[in-house]
Amino acid sequence: MTNLARFREDDSHCLIQMDDGKANALSFDMLDQLEKALDQAEQAGKVVVICGRPGKFSAGFDLSVMNQGGDAMLQLLQSGASLSRRLIDFSTPVILGVSGHALAMGALLLLSADYRIGVHGNYKIGLNEVAIGMTLPWFGVELARHRLAKTHFNKAVGLAQVYDAEGAVTAGYLDEAVVEDQLMSRATSLAEQLSALDMTAHRETKARVRDGLTTSLDAAMAREFER
């Protein structure tokens, strides 16, 4: 099997790098490998840094599956929702190194992490489902409702507005943006800083902070998949 999500443990953090050689589509294989890499990171108990390949963080779900419809589409959608749900209350801080385009489910991953660092450049970030003929899933609506700036929620979700890095910071997809060649050094520096946290206190406090979001997500996932 092709290695789509490479895992490496360093002193202060665990690095997971998505790279399918293309757009980093979230296929069944990619999602499965991300989950297994997170298992390793959870066992290590360290800060997690997830990044993409140069120019591409993730273009979202594998469209060859999504366009089929039926059970395969629902299964892929559920796998993506489960990954977001896991990141929301992961036991250690999750940093995303958003190395380029992040669209659709790729943008929902941004709304699931603790800290998101993007890069300046001609890159697109946003929920473009409406523009490509797809209805945003219920869990995606709830992630956007809780994590995006209120003034951007409607246009980001209902009008499929896509942002550059600076706009994505304002909208709430990113926490900061840096020049491209500084992305990994910034992510590593932040991981080292956050590694000093008490991870039990972090986990328990994050659960309290996100209690409303996790309740809404669980209800949304039940609405989406328990039909």
Contact 203, 143 (CB under 8 A): no
Average pLDDT, the chain: 97
Residues 6+ apart with CB under 8 A from 128: 103, 104, 160, 162
Distance from C-alpha of 34 to C-alpha of 18, rounded to nearest angstrom: 8
Nearest to 168 by CA among 100, 83, 214: 100
SS3 of the chain: helix, strand, coil, percent, to 5 = 50, 20, 30
Residue 227 confidence (pLDDT) above 70: no
Residue 78 confidence (pLDDT) above 90: yes
CA 164, 79, 139: angle at the middle one, nearest 5? 60
Share of the chain above pLDDT 70, in %: 99
- What's the pLDDT score for residue 121? 97
CB atoms near residue 154 (< 10 Å): 12
Residue 122 confidence (pLDDT) above 80: yes
* CATH homologous superfamily for the domain 5-225: 2-enoyl-CoA Hydratase; Chain A, domain 1 (3.90.226.10)
* DSSP letters spanning 152-188: HHHHHHTS--EE-HHHHHHHTS-SEEE-GGGHHHHHH
- What's the pLDDT score for residue 202? 98
CA 149, 94, 175: angle at the middle one, nearest 5? 35
- What's the pLDDT score for residue 49? 98
Phi-psi region of 123 (alpha: psi -120 to 50; beta: other; left: phi over 0): beta
> Per residue in 80-121, pLDDT tens?
999 999 999 999 999 999 999 999 999 999 999 999 999 999
Nearest to 188 by CA among 57, 7, 13, 37: 13
Distance from C-alpha of 189 to C-alpha of 181, rounded to nearest angstrom: 14
Q: What are the domain boundaries of the chain? A: 5-225
* DSSP letters spanning 59-95: --B-HHHHTT-HHHHHHHHHHHHHHHHHHHT-SS-EE
Nearest to 80 by CA among 40, 41, 27: 27
- What's the pLDDT score for residue 13? 98
Return the residue matching tokens 């990171």. Answer: 41
Share of the chain above pLDDT 90, in %: 97
Distance from C-alpha of 141 to C-alpha of 217, rounded to nearest angstrom: 9
- What's the pLDDT score for residue 99? 97
> Per residue in 48-63, pLDDT tens?
999 999 999 999 999 9
- What's the pLDDT score for residue 226? 82
Give the side-chain half-sphere CA count within 13 A for 55: 5
Q: What is the mean pLDDT of residues 9-13?
A: 96
Q: What is the pTM of this model?
A: 0.97
